[in-house]
């Protein structure tokens, strides 16, 4: 299978994934793996000019992992996951998008 990008997780995203039930975690990771090969906005959706979200619905829970695009050495295409939430409302909270953008800016300063 031809993958369009590689996914890396910042510490907040790793912590979020580690704290959720194993079956939920497996579903999220499967959806991320799948989104690397197919373009499906139900799995990976653009929120702003720089922030995207991996989307998973499992056992009635709406999981969101926020992310941004980056090129390593100008060649390898990466999607960096910043952090995750269990969504409780239909609208993605602005504060979570702002947090993702701040983590993105911090990451880019240190690369």
pLDDT of residue 53: 97
CA gap 29, 27 in Å, rounded = 6
Q: Which two tokens stand for residue 49?
A: 């000019």
Domain 6-109 has CATH 3.20.20.140: no
Q: What is the pLDDT of residue 59?
A: 92
Residue 1, pLDDT score: 64
Question: What is the pLDDT averaged over residues 85-108?
Answer: 94
Q: What is the pLDDT of residues 52-91, one digit of tens each?
A: 999 999 999 999 999 999 998 878 899 999 999 999 888 8
- Sheet with 44-46: strands ordered across: 6-9, 76-87, 61-72, 52-58, 44-46
pTM for the model stands at 0.93
Tens digits of residue pLDDT in 1-49: 678 999 999 999 999 999 999 999 999 999 999 999 998 999 999 999 9
């Amino acid at each position: 299978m031809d993958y369009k990008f590689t996914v890396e997780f910042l510490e907040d995203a790793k912590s979020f994934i580690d704290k959720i039930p194993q079956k939920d975690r497996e579903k999220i990771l499967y959806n991320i793996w799948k989104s690397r090969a197919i373009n499906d906005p139900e799995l990976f959706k653009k929120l702003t000019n720089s922030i995207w979200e991996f989307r998973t619905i499992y056992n009635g829970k709406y999981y969101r992992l926020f992310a941004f695009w980056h090129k390593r050495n100008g060649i390898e295409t990466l999607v960096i996951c910043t952090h995750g939430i269990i969504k409780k409302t239909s609208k993605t909270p602005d504060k979570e998008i702002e947090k993702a953008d701040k983590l993105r800016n911090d990451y880019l300063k240190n690369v």
